[in-house]
Structure 1
Amino acid sequence: MKKILTLFAVVGLIAFSSCTGPEGPPGLDGPQGPEGPVAEVFELQNVNFSYNSTDGYNIYQKLTPVIFDSDVILIYRLTGTINPTTPIWQQIPRTVYTSKGNFDYDFDFSKSDFTIFAGGNYDLALTPEFIKNQTFRIVIVPGAFSTTGKSVKPDYSDYNAVIKKYNIDDSNVKRLN
């Protein structure tokens, strides 16, 4: 009896393992998904504000690549350094109080560009240190990171906290100018 069961098992194994037929057609490729959200940092180094009578002092820049609708931009101005390797970044919008009056930095952005504005309650040409040779860091923050809606947000005024939260390597920042 054991020989017959063994024989059936061997014959069955051979029969099932040798059952092959023509390979069917390949399946369709899945849809190409959008590139995932990526946090990035760009730098405008030693730039001067331009002046026009409509917008006043501003710096206009195109964004390449275009950002997603849900993304936001944060902009920081280099205000000094602690030492040659430790910059001090200050988030804008910001009001700077000077002996001449109040000086303001502000910005706006769209999916494809951004503008940094300088304004004040006095003639800004009297303080060229605020409108000439300025350095800005532009941080693109993806809006689609949270899947629960309960994401812990960093202190956006702290450049280093934002870089850490979004795992941005700012040792090789892309220059825009």
Structure 2
Amino acid sequence: MRKLNLFIGALAALFIISCEGPQGPQGFDGFDGERGPAGQDGVDAIQAQVFELEGVNFTYDATDNLYDYLITFSDFTSFETLKEDVVLIYRYDGPVEFGDGAVEDSWGLLPQNYFFDEGIIQYVFSHTLFDAQVFIDGNFDLSTLSTDFTDNQILRVVIIPGEIASTGKLDTSNINSVMAHLGVTEQEIQKVTLQ
């Protein structure tokens, strides 16, 4: 009896697998991405925009007792920044040497605080779709601030599309993690030396 049931089951499975009916009607063509026109050649896969400014000199504003520097995105990239995009700015802190002799660059994500006997300074920024303004703010007379903090600074600007940044898997505090997540190598970063 078991052999008969097994034989009938195998025969039924073979029958069902080998059934083929008439082909259905042709479906409609799909829409281009996001119901818009096809992308331009070369920009479809843009994931993020990264550029580095070397030689940034902050300007002191005595009225507000702060330093500032304006970064206009269109001066360094030809891509439009959208309101959903995330703007990150890192300040180069210098090289760090480890006990084994290895040397790594140290980058700090803004905002960034420094504590002195006189008080505290903070590098902060605000941005629009077109630019970012970086400030050095503090709670003491900043006209006495060392040029080590105001002149010849290196800033790295990273503009990340909102859909990438919203995944929650991006550790923005670690610049190496951000670059790895975006698939951007050090050689691919546009580096601009300012006059």
- TM-score, reference length from structure 1: 0.72
Where in structure 2 are the equivalents of 1:144-155 lying within 5 Å?
144-145=163-164, 151-155=167-171
- Whether the 8 Å contact between 1:77 and 1:137 is mirrored in structure 2 is yes
Percent identity of the aligned residues? Answer: 31
Q: Is the 8 A contact 2:170 2:177 kept in 1?
A: yes
Give secondary structure in 2 for the equivalent of 1:145.
Answer: helix
Task: Identify the match of residue 139 of structure 1 among 158, 161, 186.
Answer: 158
Q: Which residue number corresponds to residue 88 of structure 1?
A: 106
Residue 59 of structure 1 is matched in structure 2 by 69
RMSD of aligned alpha carbons: 2.6
Equivalent in the alignment of 1:108? 126
Number of residues of Structure 1 aligned to a counterpart in Structure 2:
146
Q: CA deviation at 1:145?
A: 3.1
Deviations 1:27-58 (A, max 9, x none): xx982347545212111112110123358310
Check if 1:121 corresponds to 2:152.
no
Shift of residue 135 of structure 1?
Answer: 0.8
Change (3 A) 1:38 1:55: farther
Q: Secondary structure at 1:43's aligned position in 2?
A: strand
Tell me, yes or no, if the aligned pair for 1:41 and 1:170 is still in contact at 8 Å: no
Runs of 5+ unmatched residues, structure 1:
1-28
Q: Which segments of 5 or more consecutive residues in structure 2 lack a partner in the other structure?
A: 1-31
